[in-house]
Amino acid sequence: MNFRYELIHQDKYCDARLGRLHTPRGVVELPTFMPVGTRGSVKGLTIEMVRQTGAQIILGNTYHLALRPGEETVAALGGLHEFTGWTGPILTDSGGFQVFSLDKLNKIDEQGVIFRSAIDGRLVHLTPERSMEIQQHLGSDIAMVLDHVPPLPSPPQVIAEACQRSLRWAARCLQVPGRAGQVLFGIVQGGLDLELRKMCAQELVAMDFPGYAIGGLSVGEAPVDMYRTIAGTTPYLPAEKPRYLMGVGTPTDLLESIKLGIDMFDCVMPTRNGRNAMVFTHQGTLRLKNQKHSRDRSPLDENLKTPYSHYSRGYLRHLFLAGEMLGPILASFHNLAYYADLMRMAREAIAADCFLDFMAQQKSQWAGPPRVALD
């Protein structure tokens, strides 16, 4: 089976899209949320548990896997699929976000970026060509171009230079001979500048990528600014190809972005917040360490049935207070299962042309989930 996006239906009253992503390793129903398997593992969960959440596709991190165990080691062990045991599609990011957000830069120029490894301090040179090489060794189904991710806010000149550099790097990524069965997505940059976003999207579309991502958002800007930027970008992305919003976010962010025509998401929030005793439910967020849950026999979410939904809130609270590792595991599992269920419900609402009503109903039930994941 070749890579192909299928647009099934668009809601009559907004830009929400129901689609399918056909890949050599299976079909992904869209919109979808991708659990983040940063180092070849969705933190705290076995790959069988990840499947049980309802996830259809997962994300691997180029930066971390290149540093440890090294992409050649992953390749020698059969690539990411055999290495992890995940048989469905895998998307790998380019490493750009981690380079620019986690490590002190030593040098950035047209060739790429030189930085120090967070593991052993050695100098690492990441170029567009090198990012492609790493991702090909990892054997993902979807690879991402290397992009320059500037912090927000930044001076307009910095944003413009990073956007132009991202375009030049994207063109270089395309020049690298591809791996059979692997497709490459372009990434739209431009900060909160709608003209830059438009220009970047149009330039990338002219390069004819199989799919497009919107990057550089959910990095501290106000929600209204993020939504405005998405709304100002998606009209310039082709309707016949998938749209991926990188690193987002809360349930509210997901629904607002689906309304604007986004198909794919990833974020560490479900598992990171789960490890910190915060769970998402169809009724809002729960802080499991709160005293009110100490003798609560209720499940985490009455409307979400999973293999582990019989555990009570009181039991989960006990696990966290006792420092038992099972607490973060069960909470992380629940959050990913909730995100998958939310995407399922969104797809059903789009098919019925009632996505806006569905979103309004969901938001009325939530208790204002935080946008920033806990440390």
Give me the catalytic one of 11, 93, 263, 341.
93
Catalytic residue (one of 141, 253, 266, 341): 266
Taking alpha carbons only, the member of 300, 304, 353 closest to residue 330 is 300
What single letter denotes the amino acid at residue 350?
I
Sign of CA dihedral 133, 139, 144, 147: negative
DSSP H helix total and E strand total for the chain: 14, 17
Report residue 82: phi and psi, to 5°: -70, -35
Q: Is 93 a catalytic residue?
A: yes
DSSP 89-138: -EEE--SHHHHHHHS-EEEE-SS-EEEE-TTT--EEEE-HHHHHHHHHHH
3-state secondary structure of 257: helix
**295 burial class (0-12, 13-18, 19+ CB within 10 angstroms)?**
exposed
Catalytically active residues are 93, 266
